[in-house]
Amino acid sequence: MENKDYIRIFTGSDIQGTFIKSKLEEVGISPIIKNETESARLAGFGPSVVNQVQIFVHKDEHTAALEILATVDGGVN
């Protein structure tokens, strides 16, 4: 993801990513989820990394997102 307005805050399992996404949305942060497995499946290809997602947030929400991330399992990144 080349857009400098968005910063990656998490890379990990799809399950953890879904949980983190819900916690961010609870406080009004709109994360972008990059799921290579799902993208590959929809395109008809095999995944390069199975069940791994990346979560990006806008740079204006970065500090708040890291605070939320730190409360989830003591920081999962």
> What does residue 70 show for φ and ψ, rounded to 5 degrees?
-65, -25
In 3D space, the residue among 12, 2, 4 whose CA is nearest the CA of residue 55 turns out to be 12
**How does pLDDT run along the chain (77 residues), one tens digit per residue?**
456 899 999 999 989 999 999 999 999 999 999 987 666 666 666 666 667 899 999 999 999 999 999 988 655 54
Domains annotated on the chain, with CATH: 6-71 (3.30.70)
Question: 30: which 2 tokens?
Answer: 């709109």
